[in-house]
């Protein structure tokens, strides 16, 4: 097992078991509030898009990214290990989703400035000051692993060989 495995596990648990469920609970509060006091159409449209994009990002990470990272770290001593997913492609997808989420949060923030106290303000705060900060920490860790972890170097080399093989045959 790689020495980075425990730090990856801690961050994954924080995101998957604490932050993501917290955000989902906040989404539910906004929907309940919206039933009592309808929010502006533009805001609620962006909010629904945000919930969809967040679910897509969360599910991609929970089902693909996090397991692939854990596979890479937990198979250090297996010489014929090949990761089941292309981590760099998954990370590119995640970055695109996060950029879209950031745009949506900015649009919601602009609309929410006109509102009195609403649970939407809490959602904005959570994304701006918790979600994006935690995701930035995660991405910095992945960059460091790509630079200095032999497990990641081996996994990336295996993926590159597979891609070259696919293009040449």
Q: Kindly state the DSSP code that residue 39 receives in the 8-state scheme.
A: P
Contact assessment for residue 93 and residue 86, using Cβ atoms and an 8 Å cutoff: no
pTM for the full model? Answer: 0.84
* Of 105, 16, 88, 110, residue with least CA distance to 57: 16
Domain ranges of the chain: 5-168
Instruction: Measure the CA–CA gap between 4 and 1, rounded to whole angstroms.
Output: 8
Q: Going residue by residue through the chain (169 aa), what tens digit of pLDDT does each one get?
A: 566 677 888 999 999 999 999 999 999 999 999 999 999 999 999 999 999 999 999 999 999 999 888 887 766 555 555 555 577 788 899 999 999 999 999 999 999 998 888 899 999 999 999 999 999 999 998 888 878 766 665 665 555 545 444 555 5
Instruction: Measure the CA–CA gap between 132 and 137, rounded to whole angstroms.
Output: 9
């Amino acid at each position: 097992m790689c020495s980075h495995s425990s730090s990856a596990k801690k961050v994954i648990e924080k995101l998957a078991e604490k932050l993501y469920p917290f955000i989902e609970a906040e989404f539910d509060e906004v929907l309940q509030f919206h039933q009592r006091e309808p929010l502006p159409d533009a805001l609620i449209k962006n909010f629904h898009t945000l919930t969809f994009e967040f679910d897509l990002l969360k599910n991609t990470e929970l089902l693909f990214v996090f397991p692939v990272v854990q596979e890479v770290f937990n198979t250090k001593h297996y010489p014929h290990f090949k990761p089941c997913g292309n981590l760099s492609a998954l990370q590119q997808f995640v970055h695109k989703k996060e950029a879209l989420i950031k745009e949506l949060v900015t649009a919601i923030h602009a609309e929410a400035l006109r509102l009195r106290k609403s649970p939407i303000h809490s959602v904005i705060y959570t994304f701006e000051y918790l979600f994006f900060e935690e995701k930035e920490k995660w991405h910095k860790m992945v960059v460091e692993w790509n630079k200095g972890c032999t497990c990641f170097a081996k996994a990336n080399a295996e993926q590159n060989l597979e891609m070259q093989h696919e293009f040449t045959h």
